[in-house]
Amino acid sequence: SAVISQKPSRDICQRGTSLTIQCQVDSQVTMMFWYRQQPGQSLTLIATANQGSEATYESGFVIDKFPISRPNLTFSTLTVSNMSPEDSSIYLCSVTGLAGGTHEQYFGPGTRLTVT
Amino acid sequence: GDSVTQMEGPVTLSEEAFLTINCTYTATGYPSLFWYVQYPGEGLQLLLKATKADDKGSNKGFEATYRKETTSFHLEKGSVQVSDSAVYFCALRRGAAGNKLTFGGGTRVLVKP
């Protein structure tokens, strides 16, 4: 498996502001994803981060609210824009397509966001 | 659309007890099935998987069998330890490895000494 790190690990933000979350992988991967885990709930896919092109968003998520970048095969960012308390969640990066042939999805440790 | 249903928790057990977490799914075709575990304060870890009917995934004493006829993938462990206390998520993936995972709601398991 890969080592996946996320920054920050947690943050407390005021409503109306934006936060950018970074995801770094220690090896090249084919695909990167961003998930949201709301308090006490399961994981929901926000979008697939595509290298060099616009991310592919799931129903209910839009680029203006969750802009995503993926400049290379090991790094991606997710921005949560114009935050409200409803955005308080854990945001997780996941990857698949590691060198060596494994095709399973592996997850980063998550970023715990609290919006006040 | 695809969906995964898990038994609601929390499930509270004594050490060395038998654990079963039920998981059923709805999906077209033949999805791959997964169990992920989230220990307190940590991210999700892949626990086990099965990619076709009657496959049995196993890891760390946990087992789950892909039952196409009942669209189920129940997780079992014969003798739990305190260190097994975590949230367990059942998930499915249709198609290729790059396709998204659809998760169940998660089941919190608490093992008491």
Closest alpha carbon within chain A to B89: A42
pLDDT digits (tens, 9 = 90+) for A46-91: 999 988 889 999 999 999 999 999 999 999 999 999 999 999 999 9
DSSP letter at B68 equals T
pLDDT at A99: 61
How does the average pLDDT of chain B come out, rounded? 93
Cα separation, A59 vs B110, whole angstroms:
34
Band (pLDDT 50/70/90 cuts) for residue A98 is: low
CB contact under 8 A, B36 and A107: yes
3-state secondary structure of B81: coil
What per-residue confidence (pLDDT) applies to B100?
A: 84
Does the distance separating the beta carbons of A97 and B97 come in below 8 Å? Answer: yes
Average pLDDT, chain A: 92
Which residue reads 């009942």 in tokens?
B70
What pLDDT, on a 0 to 100 scale, did the predictor assign at position A30?
85
